[in-house]
Amino acid sequence: MSWTDLLNDNSSIAKAVDLVGDRWSLMLLSGCFSGVCRFNQFESFLGINRNVLSSRLDKLVENGLLKRHLYNESPKRYEYQLTDISRELRPIIVGLATWAERNFTQEDAPFAIVHKACEEKIEVVIHCAECDIHVHNDEIAAKINPGAGPEALRLFDNMSPTVKIVN
């Protein structure tokens, strides 16, 4: 199966990776959460090439993850603001950062993600809204959606029974 096939089959993870899976997009969104929201701030904060920066910002705007706000008329300058869609990504970004800190950077990371009120490190958990409980890794499974196409059905049939729910 090709990447295009995955996108055409509406693979959720493929769509997410396509939108924010490169090394700069999540860093730009993370910067916005930290108050970095202008082109020149991104450029100096991340040391990113101007063409790459422009391309990534355009893609995030086109897909509704950021919106441009004019803050200077002459010359025209924009700041990039988070949207509701990008705010939903915050737990994912925080989860990735805390995972990397725990497993790779430990105390060498330049900063830690903490709770403002108590300044202690936070933890991202998976929660079942129906049961109102925290869900552990071994309690997660894939379930085929009713509108899945034949390719998805074939892939699903090849999955281990321990990671899928069959109706």
Residue-range domain boundaries for the chain: 1-88
Token readout for 1 is 């199966």
pLDDT tens by residue, 50-76: 999 999 999 999 999 999 999 999 999
Compute the distance between CA of residue 137 and CA of residue 117 in angstroms, rounded to an integer: 29
Compute the distance between CA of residue 14 and CA of residue 20 in angstroms, rounded to an integer: 10
pLDDT tens by residue, 93-128: 999 999 999 899 988 888 888 999 999 999 899 999
pLDDT tens by residue, 12-22: 888 888 899 99
Give the β-pairing of 77-82 and 66-72: antiparallel
The three-class DSSP label of residue 135 is strand
More confident residue, 26 or 167: 26
CATH entry, 1-88, from 1.10.10.10, 1.20.1290.10, 3.40.50.150, 1.10.3720.10: 1.10.10.10
Total number of residues shown for the chain: 167
